[in-house]
Amino acid sequence: MYERADRIGGLLTYGIPTMKLDKKVVQRRVDLMAEEGVDFVTNTEIGKDITATELKEQFDAVVLCGGATKAREVDIEGRDLQGVHLAMDYLNGTIKSYLDSNLEDGNYISAKDKHVIVIGGGDTGTDCVATALRHGCKSITQFGTHAKAPLERDRVNNPWPQFPNVYTLDYAQEEAKALYGEDPRAFSVLTKKFVGENGVLKELHTVQIERTVDETGRKIYKEIPGTEKVWPADLVFIAVGFEGPENTLINQLGLDQDRRSNVKAAYGKYTTNVDKVFAAGDMRRGQSLVVWAINEGREAAREVDKYLMGSSQLP
């Protein structure tokens, strides 16, 4: 197994923060697999250190599990100011420094005594909130473009057995509320620009928005006049989602992609359009969940076994 990072584990190691997933649990599994005979090769990027063609020549089957780590960017004035970062750079810097030196090397973006704003109301943004709290930030706010959910489910538009769209607090928001007395989220907020001084971020300008539909029925966001606001900010973390897998390897191998740019391979089969190349996990289904990565990894192993041996006893 080749991994370009210095540690094995993918987003379970560099991505999911340590307080949510103890890295000892990940390492225990990696050690078990090493004992079973898996060779782990770190600091090796396929497509760069070893080309895709070399990989195909050297191995009888190749399973691509490179994740869907291409971060979505924002096109906002002032994005290049010092202090505006992608969420994953923030999270991974902290995890690496923690694992390397218990944060003593200082090789991470510190939120200590800083006014922090997280743009993005999803799970990655929430992990940034929890990390900033642990750094000892001065204030924390999490922006979302979505409206605040109702306290009770809408029985007409969101009936059982649909997942209930109701107001809840995730772990980071609960922690922030315990510390500062309120939910750190600001709902229906659109960032208009980042403003700085001498190239360093100083504040954020926002406006409230409401979601409506245009004449064709398409959902659109409308800015509400008079709701402009300026927020002091030393650090901003952008957590607005992921755009799919990176392209280098996909292009080198000439792989077909689906309409969301993931590697095209049927669930349960995992074969791509290129002989002996399989794809599984986030790289095939887009940014998802650990349970799916485990499920797809195990099933892909079975399909590779069948491909190599003609049959398989793997579940």
Ligand X SMILES: Cc1cc2nc3c(=O)[nH]c(=O)nc-3n(C[C@H](O)[C@H](O)[C@H](O)COP(=O)(O)OP(=O)(O)OC[C@H]3O[C@@H](n4cnc5c(N)ncnc54)[C@H](O)[C@@H]3O)c2cc1C
At 256 the three-state DSSP class reads: coil
Q: Which of 95, 116, 235, 249 binds ligand X (CB under 6 A)?
A: 249
Q: Would you say 47 or 78 has its CB closer to ligand X? A: 47
Is there binding between residue 123 and ligand X (CB under 6 A)?
yes
Q: Which of 71, 22, 101 is nearest to 238 (CA)?
A: 71
Task: Judge whether 128 and 17 are in contact, CB under 8 Å.
Answer: no
Task: Judge whether 66 and 246 are in contact, CB under 8 Å.
Answer: yes
Is there binding between residue 16 and ligand X (CB under 6 A)?
yes
Is there binding between residue 116 and ligand X (CB under 6 A)?
no
Task: Judge whether 257 and 265 are in contact, CB under 8 Å.
Answer: no
* Interface segment toward ligand X; rule CB under 6 A; list 5-13, 108-116, 180-188, 299-307: 5-13
- The least distance separating ligand X from the CB of residue 145, rounded to whole angstroms, comes to 19
Size of the site for ligand X (CB under 6 A): 30
- Kind and range of the H or E run holding 142: strand 139-143
Is there binding between residue 240 and ligand X (CB under 6 A)?
no
Is there binding between residue 289 and ligand X (CB under 6 A)?
yes
The residues near 13 (Cβ < 8 Å, ≥ 6 apart) are 5, 7, 23, 26, 95
Residue 211 has what DSSP assignment?
Answer: E
* Interface segment toward ligand X; rule CB under 6 A; list 13-21, 148-156, 166-174, 183-191: 13-21
Enumerate residues 86-115 that contact ligand X by CB under 6 A: 91
Q: Which of 23, 30, 55, 67 binds ligand X (CB under 6 A)?
A: 67
Q: Which of 124, 142, 188, 272 binds ligand X (CB under 6 A)?
A: 124
Q: Which of 18, 20, 186, 271 binds ligand X (CB under 6 A)?
A: 20
Task: Judge whether 132 and 146 are in contact, CB under 8 Å.
Answer: no
Q: Would you say 12 or 195 has its CB closer to ligand X? A: 12
Task: Judge whether 243 and 71 are in contact, CB under 8 Å.
Answer: yes
